[in-house]
Amino acid sequence: MAPAAVLCMMTLLLGFLQYTYWDMSLKRQQAQNLKTAYISLAEAEMAAQRMQSVVNFLSQAQSPNVQSIEQMTDLYLHLSVAIERLQDSTQLSASSLSLMQQGVADLDPDQGFELERFDTALGLLRPHLRQLLNSLNENRNDLSDLHRVDMDALVAQTTFVSIVVLGVAILVGILLSLMFARRILHRIQVLSDSAERITRGEFTPPPAPDQVRDELDGLAVSINQMTDQLFRVVSAEKLLEGAEEERRRIAMDLHDQTLSDLSAVQRGIGQLRAASSCGEEALKIETDLQRAIGNLRLVMDDLHPQTLDILGLPAAVESLLSKASEQPGAPECHFMAGDGVAERPLSRLTQVTLYRIVVEAINNAICHAHATCLEVNLTLRGDSLVIAVEDNGRGFDYVPQPPTASGGRGLHNIQERARAIGAKASWRHSRFSSGTRFELVLPSSLV
């Protein structure tokens, strides 16, 4: 409101100055027209004076002088041009213009070179030209004095009006600013308190206005929506962290209890097979039990890989890739971990989430891309951790789509897991002749 009021007053001041200087510009244009007419009259009077001198010289000469006749013709051209420039002047009356035009016509050498006609025409034209020059000169002096007086008055008037308008504009701006500042500062304080509570982990959004009237209302709505989305993200992260912790607990329970019991049963069967006569049946049971133990270890590893807790992410990924390459029809697998990746500190949730994403990416390359070569790289790009899974399979163009009931949840799950830890996942064409490169970038600020 305050800037609008000040701008309005400044617009009125500019309008006043524009009107004042417009009037002055009219007077300046009038002075310019008067100056132009004076110069043309002075040129015409000078040409007429010289023509009079030539006529006097020729009247006293005993024989015609060709050079004087040519000079008379040139002076006539100067006179006619000067008089012609005066035709559009508003400083001369119509009778004066008519008299000068008649004089120019009588002085035309093309009508005959008669000295008496020239002398009569110049006798009528020169006094009239001198009279007009004196009149225009007086008008120029009067207009110059008036212009100087008007300019002084204009400067004094515009200075006074400008000072008054600027003073009033500043005063109005201060009053309006004080009037609205308290309300605006209160609204800003409410938003600041809400942001501080959100920073402390208290997800209490500020009250959203019923109608967005200005930028602060829009900011309040944005903070309200952001708080709601942040609450859902944190809740999802806590839920995911709780689920992973529960999977780890179940895996530990299976390892410490169930796997130990099965191992004890296996040892008992081995002793029974050695001591009894039913060796073949015991061997078959022992083989089945060994297979069950192997399957149980796979389930435990799927629930929570122990290698991840013991050796870290690079070793867990390398172990995963090694097991995948041992399967029938598996592609040729290569693994590379850059310097500093193993020492990079990662939270348990981030580490498990990255492992799940790599597992999904490797399964996609093996099961869907039908690749014969697979590379997994863990590197540092600046301060960001980069995980790349690249194959030479049939490839695809990634288009984000919601998961369907018939399948297609793998890529969606990767995106959701990456979003949960603040990473960015992308798919593009592989550097091989065919295939896909999956890349996940985790900024250092989110590690």
Answer whether 335's CB lies under 8 Å from 318's CB.
yes
User: In the prediction, which pLDDT does 231 show?
Assistant: 60
User: In the prediction, which pLDDT does 303 show?
Assistant: 63
What the block records as the tokens of 95 is 């009778």
Please list, residue by residue across 331-365, b when 16 or more beta carbons sit within 10 angstroms of its beta carbon and e when fewer do: bebebebeeebeebebeebbbbbbbbbbbbbbebb
User: In the prediction, which pLDDT does 1 show?
Assistant: 54
User: In the prediction, which pLDDT does 130 show?
Assistant: 84
Indicate the DSSP class of residue 251: H
Rounded to whole angstroms, the Cα distance separating 205 from 378 reads 40
* Domain boundaries defined on the chain: 2-171, 207-304, 306-446
User: In the prediction, which pLDDT does 389 show?
Assistant: 93
Helix/strand/coil for 436? strand
Query: pTM surpassing 0.85?
Result: no
Indicate the DSSP class of residue 407: B
Decide if domain 2-171 falls under CATH 1.10.10.
no
> Could you tell me the mean pLDDT of each successive run of 10 residues in the chain, 447 residues long?
62 67 70 78 84 81 72 83 78 78 80 79 82 79 62 68 76 76 76 74 68 74 72 59 63 60 67 63 69 66 70 87 83 89 85 88 86 92 91 81 56 84 89 90 74
CATH H-level, domain 306-446: superfamily: Histidine kinase-like ATPase, C-terminal domain (3.30.565.10)
Rounded to whole angstroms, the Cα distance separating 234 from 242 reads 12
Rounded to whole angstroms, the Cα distance separating 86 from 354 reads 94
Question: Helices 348-367 and 410-420: crossing angle, nearest 10°?
Answer: 160
